[in-house]
């Protein structure tokens, strides 16, 4: 890009340090999620998740501060992640179990990514998507 921004797509996400950054905006539109951050050094970073399969955002507050933002590829959901994503689903059915199994297969095979935002204060986000892009100024 010519505007001085830098974009990364489905690469080594974990080299981008968002520790202590502030979550400044969330825009969710069906299958597209955009998260905006301001890092401690004042840099603006935008994370776009495309083709959202599952998404949960809990405890959103004014002044959200990030502890960690991680992206996993090639691993199934942990029991804790599964409980967070599907906490309002109290039924255990064959159809639901098959869905979770298929979802884990896609995660293991790298067809889907798991993004996890852990807070120091405020919002916790868990999202499963096909594409994840970072853009920084």
pLDDT tens digits for 62-119?
A: 889 999 999 999 999 999 999 999 887 766 688 888 999 999 999 999 999 999 999 9
- Strands 44-50 and 113-121: what pairing? unpaired
pLDDT number for residue 137: 74
Distance between CA atoms of residues 59 and 67, nearest Å: 14
Distance between CA atoms of residues 15 and 1, nearest Å: 20
| Overall pTM surpassing 0.95 (yes/no) | no
Please compute the mean of the pLDDT values over residues 38-50 and round it to a whole number.
94
User: What are the sequence ranges of the domains in the chain?
Assistant: 6-136
pLDDT number for residue 9: 53
Residue 6 reports pLDDT greater than 60: no
pLDDT number for residue 12: 52
Distance between CA atoms of residues 128 and 86, nearest Å: 12
């Amino acid at each position: 890009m010519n505007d001085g921004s830098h974009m990364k797509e489905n690469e080594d996400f974990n080299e981008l340090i968002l520790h202590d950054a502030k979550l400044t905006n969330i825009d969710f539109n069906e299958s597209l999620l955009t998260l905006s951050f301001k890092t401690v050094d004042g840099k603006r970073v935008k994370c776009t998740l495309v083709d959202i399969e599952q998404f949960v955002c809990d405890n959103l507050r004014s002044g959200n501060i990030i502890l960690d933002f991680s992206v996993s590829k090639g691993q199934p959901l942990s029991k804790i992640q599964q409980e967070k994503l599907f906490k309002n689903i109290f039924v255990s059915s064959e159809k639901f179990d098959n869905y979770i199994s298929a979802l884990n297969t896609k995660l293991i095979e790298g067809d889907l990514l798991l993004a996890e935002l852990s807070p120091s204060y405020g919002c916790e986000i868990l999202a499963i998507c096909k594409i994840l892009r970072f853009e920084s100024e």
